[in-house]
Structure formats: C-alpha cells, structure tokens
Structure 1
C-alpha cells in the first residue's frame, strides 16, 4: 500500500561528481543543502554573501561578482553600532568599517574566481516579497533592522523574477559557458507575509523558474524541494518547532531525493566511505586508551589517507 504521494524527480543529464565545482545560493534551504555537500566533502561553496531570499538581490550580487566591481564606502552604512551593506546578509556586518569593506571585497574576489570555474550553480529562491529602500529606490537583500518607515514592501511580478533569473544565467555564462543550473524553491513558508501572501509569493517563483527554463532548457533543471515538502511530507512531524521550517528528518529526506537524481551513481561508494569516516570521527569511546580503540583509529587514518591520496582537496577536521 502507498501511504504518500510520491513526487517524481527527473534524473539530471549533467550529474555532479567529486570533480564538480558547485555553488549554492539563496535562502536558508540552500544552507541546508550546502551542509550536506560539505559533509560528503564535495567541492562546494554556499552563500558567500549570506542568505539571500529574492532573485533581484541575487542578480545584483552575481553581476557585481562577475564584473569584479568592488564594494566602496558608498555601499555601506552605520547602524546600531555596526557597519552594514544592503546587498548582503547581517551575518557579515562588522563594527570596524575597514575590516568590513576588506571582508566584503575578499569574498567578492573569491566568488569571482569560483564563478569562472563552476560546473553547477544551485539557486534556491525563498520569496517574491521584497523591501525597497525609499531613499535609493533600490531593492535590498536585508533590512538590517533599519526602521520599517524607510522601506516600501512589494511583490515581485513573475516577469521581474524571470528577468533576474535569465540575467543570472547570462551573466555566469558570459564568463563560464559550461556552467549548469539547478533551480529550486525553498520549502520554508514565509508566514510573516501572510498565509495567502506566501502562496502567492511561491507561485510567482515557480512560474518564473519554469518560464526561465523554457528559454534556457539545456543547462537548467528544476528540483521540486517545495513540492516534496508540501505534498510528499505533508505531516507536521516533518517540521521544526516553529511548524514552518523542515526538521532534520525532512532535510535528510529531501537530500536523498536530490543526490539519488543529481549526483553520479559512480560516486555513491565514495560517499558511503566518507559517511563512515565522518561517523568514526564523531565516535567518543568510553576507554580511549584500549588496544581495540587504537586499532580503530589506525584503520580510520588509513581510510582517510586512501581517500586523500586520490582526492587531495578532501580534508577531514
């Protein structure tokens, strides 16, 4: 008997392997997926400028990175004892102005290099709702707790999001024509916007992504993370305490659907080996000085060395 509605996931025609260079951008769900890539030691970079929820702000950052256009004093401001930038997440904010600018430009240069070598860019959109700075008339990625009266709230149209997504693809392809894209919509519901408003927002994102795929069919696929969460996992036991975010069980389940269809089957064996090593590194024995535990550590070191000889970029902490 079938007790769930299974969401079909199409197998990727450009699967990820351990030689792939991956960048994940977008909402907090991009961070969730990025943690999985890091755990299995893929060559992945996740949200270098922090969590970004909307397509317009992502386009702005990618354009800046592709053009290698440095941040200046005109791009930052001081508020609540910290220097901020409306283009990036608050986690990067800093009390020292010079350090803040230096950090931003260091990340920018690193992102510029990564984009040029990417094989896969995975973008997770969170919302169509955005805030526009009244003074500059610019959409911001983060309000940094600046008073609400300095912004207007608006819903990006399907066409606006589609335009930004197409621009993102074109910008990256201008320096790296071989990059493949995976678009997805975050399964996190933004209830602070309202229940109906959240549905409207997600529908705009899904429509925009599929319209973009029509224009760029070969290098872009859609992974249905949102649909898996809302339909296949439609039970509150798969949600965190806030009843909005997927819990670890749901994240693990969605990751399994992803790697079974987007990662080359030839890498499954290595992934299992790395998973075994990760569990071994976390093991805390009751009696660490016993001969059996020392033998276990030696075998673990041998496994690590074998993998690192073949893949020097893989490091275990």
Structure 2
C-alpha cells in the first residue's frame, strides 16, 4: 500500500481535437507561449510563434490577431523613435531597429507570412499573462510594450472579465469567417507579474481565467482551455521549480508542462514520430571529440540515412536543414581526408 499523498494533480480536460505533424498551429501570447511553441518547433511541428513578439495582455493579443485577419500593412507613421531606435507599440522589441525602413520591412513581411499561415491553421493557441494594460495617453492605444518610454506617458488599467469576453466574442467570430475549422486553445501563463503586487496579480489571473471560462462556454465546440496555470500552482507548488527570480519557471517545470501538453493535445502518431525527430535533434547537438575521425563519419552517415528514411516515411515532414547539416559535415570530413 502506498504511503501518504504528497501532491495534488490537476484533472486535464479530454480534447477531442489534437494537434500534430499534419496540423498547422499558431501560438500568440506571453513568453509561456514560446516555451511550448518552441518545443514543437524544435521537433519540426508546423508552427508559427508570436508574429508580433511576446504579448502579455488580452487586448494586445486581440490587436495582433485583428491585424493578421486584416493582413495589415504598417506605414512609417505607425512607428515612433525613442532613444535612437524605431519601435511599434503593437510589437515586442525584437521588431525594433535603428533603421525605420528595416523595422517596417521586418514587421510587414512577418504579418504577410503569418496572415496566410493563420488562414490555413488548424489550431490557434492564445496565452494571456496579465489583465493589466497600459494605454498611451497621446493616442489612446493599448500598447504591447512600453519600449522604455516613461511611465508618465501611460494610463494603467485592469481589464474586466466583460471587456475581455466582449472583444473576443466578436474577434473569434471574424476568425471563423476566414478559417471555419480552426480550434482555439486558451491558456493562462503561470508566470506571476510580481510588479503588479501579489494581490493584484491574483486578481488579474482570476479575471483571465473567468473570461476564458465564459468564452469556452459560449463556443464549446471550438474553444478549449489548457490548465497550465493550475498545473504549476498545484503540481509544481515548490520554489525548486522556479528560476533565481522566483517568478519564471525552470527547464524542469517547463518539461513537466510540455509532457502534459504533449500527452493530451498532440495525437499519438505524432508523439511516436517526435521521438524519432528528437534523436535527430540530439544528433545535431552532438559535439565529437575528433571531427575527423572514422567514428564521426559513421555517426553522420547513420543519422543522414535516418533523416532520409523519415522523409520517405513521413512526406509531410520538412527535414531539409537536418539533411543539409549531416551532408555538410560529411563533405568537410572528405575534404580533410577523414
């Protein structure tokens, strides 16, 4: 007989629809979105991750989604310069540049790509981090990132459950007009926004959870909830699962959430395929003691053959980069007399 129970487990909903290698996915939202999205990308799943960069609040996520549906084209007048760098209030700093034309080119190219991807996607994963928003006083727009503009230039406000539900009820209807089959999976980031304070962070997370619950109830066949927040709060209720700042998650914690996500939201066949892909990923990360040795040549040939076999078995996989990697290193061996 087992001893005392030392952990509570979160009941995961049954998901009738599953993501996988033959399904396209879009991830938009907080850095937690990238934690999961990057895992899928590394395993060669067809995904598009944060076409506006990391976004934290539902309003900024909605603005990004709206821009993709409209296939919006940004002009010079929609950028601003601060400390010698051109920024967009709708984008994360990864889209900023000292050159205005470069920033616009990068922004518009990504929107064009992601708009097309969204119209063909099977899943849209939306992760909300906080219900708090910052509105730029001069224009009244909600900003995705303040880009170090002084706080005095903004008005801070917490979105209500009703405001979030109202915006998304209309926005999701528009999404389904363009892509009737897309399924929406909401998550709430388990990362606490400590600058809001402990109490306000909890109120913020509560607003997000209640708003998502209402949306799932309104659209039960097309909207779903993955309890990443609850998994961390209950199953990983220990500071050993947090980074040094005591707010962000360790790789061990992300591994655990990914394993639950993978088991419940990715189809069984894809999970088997991913195990083979992981071997290729590990092989590309391998650093041999002697790059000119016969052993390394055997190693490269083994995984080149595996890559070619996977391409034949799964025609929908794009393993071009992996194949080029092994071929390039084999050629280098030949040139060096290995």
TM-score, with length taken from structure 1:
0.97
Equivalences for residues 37-76 of structure 1 within 5 A: 37-76=40-79
CA distance in 1, matches of 2:64, 2:233: 30
Distance in structure 2 (CA, Å) of the matches to 1:211 and 1:312? 37
1:173-197 Cα deviation digits (max 9, x unpaired): 1210110111000010000110000
Matched, 1:126 2:129: yes
Aligned residues, how many?
317
Structure 1 moving runs of 4+ over 4 Å: none
Output aligned runs, 1:220-299, within 5 Å.
Answer: 220-299=223-302
Shift of 1:312: 4.4
Distance in 2, matches of 1:138 and 1:10, equals 36
Is 2:112 the counterpart of 1:109? yes
**Mapped contact 2:44–2:317 kept (Cα < 8 A):** no
Please state whether the residue corresponding to 1:244 is helix, strand or coil: coil
Structure of greater Rg: 2
1:35 aligns with 2:48: no
RMSD: 1.3
1:314 aligns with 2:319: yes
SS in 2 for 1:123: strand
Structure 2 contact 307–319 (Cα < 8 Å) conserved: no
Counterparts of 1:54 and 1:9 in 2: how far apart (Å)? 24
Question: How far is 1:294 from its partner?
Answer: 2.0
Distance 1:220 1:312 in 2: 28
What is the CA-CA distance between 1:307 and the residue it aligns to? 1.6
Change (3 A) 1:165 1:22: same
- 1:82 corresponds, among 81, 85, 88, to 85
Tell me, in whole angstroms, the C-alpha distance in 2 between the residues paired with 1:293 and 1:313.
Answer: 24
2:222 is aligned to 219
Cα distance in structure 2, aligned partners of 1:197 and 1:88: 25
Distance 1:34 1:312 in 2: 17
Which SS does the other structure have where 2:127 is aligned? strand
Once structures 1 and 2 are overlaid, which stretch shifts more, 49-58 or 165-174?
A: 165-174
When structure 1 is superposed on structure 2, of 178-187 and 162-171 the one drifting more is 162-171
